[in-house]
Amino acid sequence: MAAVLHASVLEQAGAFRGNALLLSGPARVGKLGLALAIAAGQNCSGTRGIGGEACGACPSCLAMATGAHPDVLQVEPRATTATGKAARRKLIPIGAILDARDKTHEYETHVYEFLEVRPTHRRRVVIVNGAEHLGPEAANALLKLVEEPPHGALFLFLAEDVRAVLPTISSRSARLGVAPASDRALEAALSRAGEEADPELVEFAAGRAGVLDALETVRAALQDAREFDTALDVGLLSALEAAEALEKRLDPAWHPEALRFTWRTRPPHRRARADTALDELQGALEAYASPSLSFQVFALALRDAFGEA
């Protein structure tokens, strides 16, 4: 979906002959999908489209479709701490780059190890999803690889804010901006994919291709948010029961945004209090507080916020 909505960026990337590209744009605008499309194009051995799109049928493209292409490595911020708990601070440590420095064995494949091997198809591609979260040590370890990549590898750095990317990386990368698409373009993309162009979904997407790449999950999150919002106005028992149901289905990537979207029509002062309650819930969960109690407190806080005269 991202490749269709950002065809011009894909075409520019296809003509790029350097070692590193820095793709910047808002969260979920489709940077990762675009990076995967670029990686597919770099390794495609079939007849590519006018805009540089991969053929989709050659051995490399079929490998891309499985999500386990031998020449593509994705690097993201660590998910856990040294004690095995969920990481509160996003960070790509030096252990993601050098095997010997990965004390917790958190990364199955490390960048140096990955680039030691010649490509199976045409070109090895390293996608760093969240380049602004590269620690100084990790960025410095990448320096030599970016300047002289083994076997002509390509680095694709993805970031929401270019200013937050360390100069070690940004100064050595060509930059391409990834902007949100128009509502009409989103509707057309949904239609081509055989999906209904739901006005609410298009409004929620706000031009972000990444939303359309997770349609089933997003629709479920929006439905959960609507049901929870309705229960808040019914009564205390309904609100607490809905909070319990939301706890069991919570997807941290989508439910918080779906909740804020659902109460967007509430008066501004009430939305502000609801946003604060949601921030406090997320903070409590990140601090490993009791989820059940945290969601009950959240429901009570929202009833108080929305019931304010």
Assigned token pair, 282: 């997320």
| R_g of the chain computed on alpha carbons | 22
Domain 2-179, what architecture? 3-Layer(aba) Sandwich (3.40)
pLDDT digits (tens, 9 = 90+) for 54-77: 999 999 999 999 989 999 999 999
Query: Per mean pLDDT, which range of 27-36, 74-83, 116-125, 288-297 is the poorest?
Result: 74-83
The model's pTM is 0.84
Domain ranges of the chain: 2-179, 214-306
Of the pLDDT bands very low, low, confident and very high (cuts 50, 70, 90), residue 274 is very high
Q: Is the pLDDT of residue 83 over 60?
A: no
Confidence check: pLDDT of 121 > 80: yes
**Both tokens assigned to 231:** 């229960």
Q: How far is CA 274 from the centre of its chain?
A: 25
**What tens digit of pLDDT does each residue of 203-220 get?**
999 999 889 888 999 999
Residue pLDDT, tens place only, 278-291: 999 999 998 888 99
Q: Are 100 and 80 in contact (CB under 8 A)?
A: no
The backbone region for 56, taken as left when phi is positive above 0, alpha when psi lies in -120 to 50, beta otherwise, is left
Which parts of the chain fold into alpha helices (H)?
A: 2-5, 7-14, 31-43, 59-66, 111-115, 136-147, 167-170, 183-192, 199-205, 209-212, 215-234, 236-249, 255-262, 268-286, 291-306
Is residue 88's pLDDT more than 70?
A: no
101, 299 Cβ separation under 8 angstroms:
no
What is the C-alpha separation between 280 and 273, in angstroms, rounded?
11
pLDDT mean over 266-278 = 96
Once rounded to an integer, what is the mean pLDDT over residues 267-276? 96
Count CB-CB contacts under 10 A for residue 132.
21
CA distance 304 to 9: 47
pLDDT of amino acid 198 = 87
